[in-house]
Amino acid sequence: MTAKSPATRPAVIWPAVIVGVGLIVGLVILLADPIHRIPSPAEQARSKPCPVPISINDAPANITMPDLVGQNAGSVETRLKGLGLTTVELSSANPKYKSVWVASNWTVVSTDPNPGCIVGPYNSVVVYVTKP
C-alpha cells in the first residue's frame, strides 16, 4: 500500500476548518459583546434614578445614602439601620449564591438607591453584596 501524496488528498477538509473557525470567532464575539449581555440587578441599580423619600410626620429626618462599596456587609447593615432606615435588604450580586446568611462574610458592591440619594426612613434599601 502506498501513501497518498498531498496533491491527491481530497480538499474537503478546508471548508470544515473554515466553518469551525468561523463558529468559534462568532461565539467569542457574541459572548464578549456587552449589548447582548443581561446586566445583573447590582449593575442595573447603578443607573437607577434616586427614589422619592418616604417619610411620615413623626419619622426621623431624611438620610443621604453613604458610599458603602467595598465595606463589610454586616457593618453596613448595622450602620444603615442605625441611621434610621427600617427596610434594609442584603442581596447577592453573585449568581452562584442565592441567599445571604451571614452578612459579615460578604462585601458590598453596590446599593439601590445609589450613594448621594436622599431617602426617607421608610424607603427600601437594597445592598448588593458578593463573597470575596
- The answer to whether residue 34 scores a pLDDT higher than 90 is no
- What value does the mean pLDDT take over residues 85-89? 93
Cβ atoms of 116 and 64 within 8 Å: the answer is yes
pLDDT at 41: 76
Kindly report the CATH number that applies to the domain delimited by 41-130. Answer: 3.30.10.20
- Nearest to 45, CA basis, from 130, 127, 131, 132: 127
Nearby residues of 17 by Cβ (< 8 Å), 6 or more positions away: none
Most confident segment among 2-6, 32-36, 48-52? 48-52
Q: Average per-residue pLDDT in the chain?
A: 83
pLDDT at 73: 96
